[in-house]
Amino acid sequence: FGFLQSKPATAFSPVAVTLDELGSAWDHGRVHLTLQTTWNGRKVGLCDAGTDMTFHFGQLISHLCKTRHVRAGSIIGSGTVSNRGVEIQGRKEWPKGYSCIAEKRTMETLLDGAPSTGYMRYGDTVRIEMKGLDGQSVFGAIEQAVTPLA
Protein backbone atom coordinates (compact mmCIF):
# COMPACT_ATOMS: atom_id res chain seq x y z
CA PHE A 1 0.00 0.00 0.00
CA GLY A 2 2.99 2.33 -0.28
CA PHE A 3 1.57 3.67 -3.52
CA LEU A 4 -1.44 4.85 -1.56
CA GLN A 5 0.47 7.15 0.77
CA SER A 6 3.52 8.10 -1.25
CA LYS A 7 2.15 10.45 -3.89
CA PRO A 8 2.57 14.22 -3.95
CA ALA A 9 -0.26 16.68 -4.55
CA THR A 10 -1.89 16.16 -7.91
CA ALA A 11 -4.49 17.52 -10.33
CA PHE A 12 -8.15 16.65 -9.90
CA SER A 13 -11.04 16.72 -12.30
CA PRO A 14 -13.18 19.85 -12.35
CA VAL A 15 -16.35 18.01 -11.24
CA ALA A 16 -17.08 15.69 -8.31
CA VAL A 17 -19.98 13.25 -8.48
CA THR A 18 -21.68 11.09 -5.87
CA LEU A 19 -21.76 7.32 -6.21
CA ASP A 20 -25.46 7.26 -7.07
CA GLU A 21 -24.71 9.38 -10.15
CA LEU A 22 -22.49 6.57 -11.46
CA GLY A 23 -25.46 4.18 -11.48
CA SER A 24 -24.64 0.62 -12.51
CA ALA A 25 -21.05 1.65 -13.31
CA TRP A 26 -20.35 1.62 -9.53
CA ASP A 27 -20.10 -2.04 -8.57
CA HIS A 28 -18.30 -3.81 -5.71
CA GLY A 29 -16.36 -0.70 -4.68
CA ARG A 30 -15.05 0.00 -8.17
CA VAL A 31 -15.95 2.34 -11.04
CA HIS A 32 -16.44 0.20 -14.15
CA LEU A 33 -15.94 2.82 -16.86
CA THR A 34 -13.28 3.60 -19.45
CA LEU A 35 -10.53 6.12 -18.75
CA GLN A 36 -9.36 7.74 -21.98
CA THR A 37 -5.80 9.08 -22.04
CA THR A 38 -4.42 11.20 -24.88
CA TRP A 39 -0.89 12.49 -25.37
CA ASN A 40 -0.60 15.42 -27.78
CA GLY A 41 -4.08 14.57 -29.08
CA ARG A 42 -3.26 10.91 -29.81
CA LYS A 43 -5.14 8.21 -27.87
CA VAL A 44 -2.67 6.16 -25.84
CA GLY A 45 -5.05 4.55 -23.36
CA LEU A 46 -8.63 3.32 -23.18
CA CYS A 47 -8.31 1.46 -19.88
CA ASP A 48 -11.18 -0.14 -17.99
CA ALA A 49 -10.95 1.43 -14.52
CA GLY A 50 -12.53 -1.34 -12.45
CA THR A 51 -11.57 -4.51 -14.30
CA ASP A 52 -8.03 -5.06 -13.01
CA MET A 53 -8.15 -2.83 -9.92
CA THR A 54 -6.32 -4.83 -7.24
CA PHE A 55 -8.01 -3.29 -4.18
CA HIS A 56 -11.53 -1.85 -4.15
CA PHE A 57 -12.16 1.52 -2.50
CA GLY A 58 -13.44 -0.09 0.72
CA GLN A 59 -10.11 -1.87 1.14
CA LEU A 60 -8.15 1.29 0.29
CA ILE A 61 -10.11 3.38 2.79
CA SER A 62 -9.84 0.69 5.48
CA HIS A 63 -6.06 0.57 5.16
CA LEU A 64 -5.79 4.35 5.01
CA CYS A 65 -7.75 4.69 8.27
CA LYS A 66 -5.25 2.44 10.05
CA THR A 67 -2.48 5.01 9.62
CA ARG A 68 -4.17 8.36 8.94
CA HIS A 69 -6.97 10.51 10.31
CA VAL A 70 -9.53 10.69 7.51
CA ARG A 71 -12.24 13.33 7.56
CA ALA A 72 -15.30 14.16 5.52
CA GLY A 73 -14.19 15.70 2.25
CA SER A 74 -10.98 13.69 2.02
CA ILE A 75 -10.08 12.72 -1.54
CA ILE A 76 -8.85 9.16 -1.98
CA GLY A 77 -7.30 7.99 -5.23
CA SER A 78 -6.77 4.44 -6.40
CA GLY A 79 -3.53 4.96 -8.29
CA THR A 80 -2.79 4.54 -11.98
CA VAL A 81 -5.59 3.00 -14.04
CA SER A 82 -4.24 0.15 -16.16
CA ASN A 83 -5.22 -3.27 -17.44
CA ARG A 84 -3.29 -6.52 -17.49
CA GLY A 85 -1.48 -7.52 -20.63
CA VAL A 86 -2.74 -10.35 -22.83
CA GLU A 87 -0.91 -12.90 -24.94
CA ILE A 88 -1.23 -12.15 -28.67
CA GLN A 89 0.64 -14.39 -31.12
CA GLY A 90 3.16 -15.41 -28.46
CA ARG A 91 3.87 -11.86 -27.30
CA LYS A 92 2.48 -9.93 -24.35
CA GLU A 93 0.50 -6.88 -25.53
CA TRP A 94 -1.61 -4.17 -23.90
CA PRO A 95 -4.47 -3.62 -26.37
CA LYS A 96 -6.18 -1.07 -24.10
CA GLY A 97 -3.03 1.03 -23.95
CA TYR A 98 -1.63 2.84 -20.95
CA SER A 99 -2.42 5.65 -18.53
CA CYS A 100 1.19 5.97 -17.31
CA ILE A 101 4.30 6.58 -19.42
CA ALA A 102 6.61 5.02 -16.80
CA GLU A 103 4.51 1.84 -16.86
CA LYS A 104 4.64 1.70 -20.66
CA ARG A 105 8.43 2.20 -20.67
CA THR A 106 8.85 -0.55 -18.07
CA MET A 107 6.87 -3.03 -20.18
CA GLU A 108 8.88 -2.08 -23.28
CA THR A 109 12.10 -2.66 -21.35
CA LEU A 110 10.95 -6.05 -20.06
CA LEU A 111 9.78 -7.19 -23.50
CA ASP A 112 12.37 -5.59 -25.79
CA GLY A 113 15.34 -4.81 -23.57
CA ALA A 114 14.91 -1.03 -23.85
CA PRO A 115 12.07 1.50 -23.89
CA SER A 116 10.92 2.86 -27.25
CA THR A 117 8.59 5.50 -25.80
CA GLY A 118 10.20 8.78 -24.79
CA TYR A 119 9.27 10.97 -21.88
CA MET A 120 7.07 14.02 -22.24
CA ARG A 121 8.80 17.21 -23.39
CA TYR A 122 8.09 20.91 -23.06
CA GLY A 123 4.97 21.71 -25.04
CA ASP A 124 3.49 18.21 -24.77
CA THR A 125 -0.03 17.88 -23.41
CA VAL A 126 -1.75 15.03 -21.64
CA ARG A 127 -5.50 14.71 -21.18
CA ILE A 128 -7.43 12.17 -19.15
CA GLU A 129 -11.19 11.82 -19.10
CA MET A 130 -13.64 9.17 -17.96
CA LYS A 131 -16.69 8.60 -20.12
CA GLY A 132 -20.01 7.34 -18.76
CA LEU A 133 -22.18 4.61 -20.24
CA ASP A 134 -23.94 7.38 -22.20
CA GLY A 135 -20.61 8.52 -23.72
CA GLN A 136 -20.63 11.80 -21.79
CA SER A 137 -17.77 12.98 -19.59
CA VAL A 138 -18.34 11.92 -15.97
CA PHE A 139 -15.97 14.21 -14.06
CA GLY A 140 -14.79 16.58 -16.78
CA ALA A 141 -11.34 16.33 -18.32
CA ILE A 142 -7.95 17.00 -16.80
CA GLU A 143 -5.66 18.51 -19.42
CA GLN A 144 -2.15 19.68 -18.63
CA ALA A 145 0.85 20.88 -20.61
CA VAL A 146 4.52 20.40 -19.80
CA THR A 147 6.06 23.84 -19.39
CA PRO A 148 9.37 25.13 -18.04
CA LEU A 149 9.31 26.78 -14.63
CA ALA A 150 8.57 30.47 -14.95
DSSP class of residue 130? E
Task: State the pTM of this model.
Answer: 0.84
9-43 CB burial, b ≥16 within 10 A, e <16: eeeeeeeeeeeeebeebbeebbbbbbbbbbbeeee
Mean pLDDT on 105-132: 94
Phi, psi angle pair for 11, to nearest 5°: -85, 150
Q: How many CB atoms lie within 10 A of CB 93?
A: 12
5-40 pLDDT, tens digit per residue, is 555 567 788 898 999 999 999 999 999 999 999 999
* Domain positions in the chain: 2-82+123-145
